[in-house]
């Protein structure tokens, strides 16, 4: 949620690359977020990637810890991933990922086309040895501890081995994000009883139960918002539907609350009396505070910002990347996979 990382301390000099083009609101949003992050983190350096003639017009471009890297092409939301790979090798997305591959940046953040970003990241950075497929991991609002759901869209169908690997990667990446030293891991299922679910789910559960992860068993859809686990694992089809259902539900609740408080004078007075509580509720449910989905399983840190994110939301994605950099999530996943192979 908003304010979750207000106490984040980051002292080691670190450079991140921001793909400034391709988002719904234009590069100004990314540049405003960069300016705020640079003010908050004195050890942070930023490579701003995009059309130099556009980026140079913003004050952030002249910041002493910012560098503009020219990228003349833009991957649009309508571009197919394969077309972006073949025809737009000088896009801000591609150049930002190249910065990570070459060691110039510790992380890449983009608000562009999700499919193109994943395809390009897999080509440029490759996956950690032994990882079958990377996954997209997103924070979801809960009534308790932070919870991260994966996969939320990268892999529509998954076998038991992929789900097991998602659990491993989710547990590793969730440590710095949630603050839990041993994140609880659960499998999303059609029931919490041990015998529920198909063979794929049962096989995954058996592997997780025998692992060193803090596996707590199955959870159902109505458990997603309860904070019962820091990591909840499912396939990309189910995860994407669940995530968007939660987002839609929050929007509907907000709509009905506004309608209730504005339909009469009494309602308006009640809203005035309750404004502190309403402000807290709005902050808790504000999607900007959950922006920044991690692409886990790659040889590099990549965070996807929502295409329509404003500066505050994009800054939250920057914070997410910094936490992953601090704990070097890709190296931790690699160490786990190396031990698994022994």
Residue 269 neighbours by CB distance under 10 Å: 11
Q: Are 125 and 100 in contact (CB under 8 A)?
A: yes
Side-chain half-sphere exposure of 290, counting CA atoms within 13 A: 21
Domain boundaries, given as residue ranges, for the chain: 1-131+297-328, 132-290
Dmax over CA atoms of the chain, in Å, equals 70
Split at pLDDT 50, 70, 90, the class of 145 is confident
pLDDT in tens, 184-203: 999 999 988 888 888 999 99
The DSSP annotation for 252-304 comes to: HHHHHHHHHHHSSHHHHHHHHHTHHHHHHHHHHH-GGGG--EEEETBSSEEEE
Assign 89 to helix, strand or coil.
coil
Strands 231-233 and 147-150: parallel
Average pLDDT, the chain: 85
Q: Residue 140: beta bridge partners?
A: 147
Assign 190 to helix, strand or coil.
coil
Query: Quick one: average pLDDT of 208-234?
Result: 92
Q: Which two tokens stand for residue 45?
A: 């350096």
More confident call, 288 vs 106: 106
pLDDT at 6 over 60: no
Structure confidence at residue 46 (pLDDT): 96
Residues whose CB falls within 8 Å of the CB of residue 167, separated by 6 or more in sequence, listed in order = 185, 187, 204, 208, 211, 213, 215, 231, 233
pLDDT at 180 over 60: yes
Split at pLDDT 50, 70, 90, the class of 170 is very high
Structure confidence at residue 2 (pLDDT): 44
Residue 242 DSSP symbol: H
CA distance 142 to 227: 5
Q: Which two tokens stand for residue 80?
A: 């197919």
Query: Quick one: average pLDDT of 6-28?
Result: 81
Nearest to 158 by CA among 184, 122, 182, 134: 134
Q: What is the CA radius of gyration of the chain?
A: 20
pLDDT at 278 over 50: no
pLDDT at 169 over 60: yes
pTM equals 0.85
Query: Quick one: average pLDDT of 10-33?
Result: 86
The CATH classification of domain 1-131+297-328, taken from the options 3.40.50.620, 1.20.1250.20, 3.40.718.10, 3.20.20.70: 3.40.718.10
pLDDT in tens, 77-99: 888 888 888 888 999 999 999 99
Note whether 1-131+297-328 and 132-290 share their fold. Answer: yes
Structure confidence at residue 223 (pLDDT): 87
Q: Are 4 and 93 in contact (CB under 8 A)?
A: no
Q: Which CATH superfamily is domain 132-290 in?
A: Isopropylmalate Dehydrogenase (3.40.718.10)
pLDDT at 64 over 60: yes
pLDDT in tens, 222-272: 888 888 999 999 999 999 888 888 777 666 666 666 666 676 665 566 655
Q: Are 220 and 201 in contact (CB under 8 A)?
A: no
Split at pLDDT 50, 70, 90, the class of 286 is low
Split at pLDDT 50, 70, 90, the class of 3 is very low
Residue 306 DSSP symbol: P
Structure confidence at residue 230 (pLDDT): 94
More confident call, 251 vs 104: 104
Structure confidence at residue 254 (pLDDT): 64
Strands 135-140 and 147-150: antiparallel
Q: What is the dihedral of CA 70, 76, 81, 83, to 10 degrees?
A: -80
Sign of the dihedral through C-alpha 168, 16, 316, 82 = negative
């Amino acid at each position: 949620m908003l304010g979750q990382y207000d106490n984040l301390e980051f002292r080691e000099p670190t450079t991140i690359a921001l793909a400034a083009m391709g988002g719904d609101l234009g590069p100004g949003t990314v540049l405003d977020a960069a300016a705020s992050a640079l003010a908050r983190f004195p050890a942070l350096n930023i490579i701003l990637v995009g059309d130099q003639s556009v980026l140079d017009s913003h004050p952030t471009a002249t910041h002493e810890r910012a560098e503009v890297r020219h990228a003349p092409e833009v991957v649009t939301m309508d571009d197919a991933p394969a077309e972006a790979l073949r025809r737009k090798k000088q896009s801000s997305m591609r150049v930002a990922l190249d910065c990570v591959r070459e060691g110039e940046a510790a992380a890449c953040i983009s608000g562009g086309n999700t499919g193109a970003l994943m395809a390009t990241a897999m080509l440029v950075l490759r996956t950690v040895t032994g990882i079958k497929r990377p996954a997209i991991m997103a924070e979801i609002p809960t009534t308790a501890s932070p919870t991260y759901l994966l996969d939320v869209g990268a892999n529509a169908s998954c076998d038991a081995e992929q789900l097991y690997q998602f659990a491993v990667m989710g547990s590793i990446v969730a440590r710095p994000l949630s603050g839990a030293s041993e994140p609880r891991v659960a499998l999303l299922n059609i029931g919490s009883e041990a015998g529920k679910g198909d063979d794929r789910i049962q096989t995954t559960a058996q592997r997780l139960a025998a692992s060193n992860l803090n596996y707590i068993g199955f959870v159902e859809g109505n458990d997603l918002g309860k904070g019962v686990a820091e990591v909840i694992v499912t396939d990309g089809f189910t995860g994407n539907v669940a995530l968007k259902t939660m987002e839609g539900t929050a929007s509907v609740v907000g709509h009905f609350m506004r309608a209730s408080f504005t339909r009469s004078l009494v309602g308006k007075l009640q809203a005035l009396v309750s404004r502190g509580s309403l402000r807290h509720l709005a902050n808790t449910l504000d999607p900007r505070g959950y922006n920044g989905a991690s692409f886990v399983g790659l040889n590099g840190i990549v965070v996807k910002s929502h295409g329509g994110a404003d500066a505050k939301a994009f800054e939250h994605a920057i914070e997410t990347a910094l936490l992953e950099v601090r704990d070097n999530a890709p190296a931790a996943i690699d160490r786990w996979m190396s031990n698994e192979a022994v």
